[in-house]
Structure 1
Amino acid sequence: MAEAALFLSAFLAATILPFSSELAFVTALHNEVSVKNALFFASSGNILAIVFNYYLGYFLYEKTKTSLFHSHFGKKAFLVGHKYGYYALLLSWLPLIGDPITLVAGLVRLKFVWFVIISGSLRIARYMFLAYIFSPN
């Protein structure tokens, strides 16, 4: 049951909802969820949510592309986002700014494989770091 709650909290935290998966992760570790299970469920939930964010941005592009490219600022923002988007993904693990970055990655059509590799591995690394610091074992 704790694993399902951890998965759900990690998923919700990676959307634009104000939620803390880190607190849920550390709480799960202290409630005798194994580090391996906590890493798996938190990472799975978080990665699934950033994929959801990516595709939300991807489909928003279709709805907004006309107005986006008719605006000088919109066109420039899209080109800058596309050019530097992979570097911005290096910040996607951060609270508050990371989740909107994953949505913008879909909006500017970054390659999905690279998006998952960069953002997903950073999300896993964040939980591994937390497990290293806060694991009671």
Structure 2
Amino acid sequence: MLSNLGRYFLLDLLSLFSTSFLSSTILPGGSEALLLYLTQTSTYSLIALWVIASVGNTLGGLTNWLLGRYLYRFKEHRLFPISSTQLNKATHFFHKYGTASLLFSWLPIIGDALCILAGVSRVRLFIFFVLVLFGKSARYAILLLGVEYL
């Protein structure tokens, strides 16, 4: 059985994971504030916080990849959120800059679109996962290093 302190620790880490995950999907949000808060108010190692935030954020990006991959078949449906012209322009943009653009999947709004377009473009899962994990982990690492040295 977890002690009360253990429950709070588990809740903190679950909150960080969930916030990181949700902020990387098409839902609005930002995980940086909670990450910075936990670095100042908890006894967690920066490595543990970095791993949890990075994995949660990457899995949120994977959710967007899945949306792009499987919802694309409904592109002709009248309720599809963007027109075929907009989709063609976005896909052309993604192909122009290539899969390496997924290193910027951590950017607000643009990153969500990149992950969705990677799904639409059928970028291989392994390549997608490695590039997105690297980009998102690097962003959190820079943020945490900034906190550590300020």
| Cα contact 2:67–2:116 (8 A) shared by 1 | yes
Unaligned runs of 5+ in 2: 1-10, 79-83
**Which amino acid in 1 is paired with 2:72?**
Y
**Which amino acid in 2 is paired with 1:115?**
F
1:43 is aligned to 54
User: Quick one: higher RCO (CA 8 Å, sep 6+), 1 or 2?
Assistant: 1
Query: What secondary structure sits across from 2:114 in the alignment?
Result: helix
| Cα contact 1:13–1:20 (8 A) shared by 2 | yes
| 2:52 matches 1:34 | no
| 2:136 matches 1:133 | no
Query: What secondary structure sits across from 1:95 in the alignment?
Result: coil
**Which amino acid in 2 is paired with 1:12?**
L
Unaligned runs of 5+ in 1: none
1:64 aligned residue (75, 78, 87)? 75
Question: Is the helix fraction higher in 1 or 2?
Answer: 1
2:91 is aligned to 78
Larger Rg: 2
Distance verdict in 2 for CA 1:126–1:87, change over 3 Å: same
| Cα contact 1:93–1:126 (8 A) shared by 2 | yes
Deviation at 1:3, TM superposition (A): 0.8
Deviation at 1:15, TM superposition (A): 0.7
Distance verdict in 2 for CA 1:65–1:29, change over 3 Å: same
**Which amino acid in 1 is paired with 2:40?**
H
Deviation at 1:123, TM superposition (A): 0.3
Number of equivalenced pairs: 134
1:114 is aligned to 127
Deviation at 1:76, TM superposition (A): 6.1
Once residues 80 and 87 of structure 1 are traced to their aligned partners in structure 2, the CA distance between those partners, rounded to angstroms, is 12
Q: TM-score, normalised by structure 1?
A: 0.83
Q: Alpha-carbon deviations, 1:47-75, whole Å to 9, x = none?
A: 111111101110012222799xxx67755
| Cα contact 1:61–1:108 (8 A) shared by 2 | no
Distance verdict in 2 for CA 1:82–1:34, change over 3 Å: same
**Which amino acid in 2 is paired with 1:97?**
I
Deviation at 1:18, TM superposition (A): 1.5
**Which amino acid in 2 is paired with 1:29?**
T
Deviation at 1:85, TM superposition (A): 3.4
Supply the RMSD in Å over aligned alpha carbons.
2.5
Once residues 85 and 20 of structure 2 are traced to their aligned partners in structure 1, the CA distance between those partners, rounded to angstroms, is 37
Deviation at 1:117, TM superposition (A): 1.1
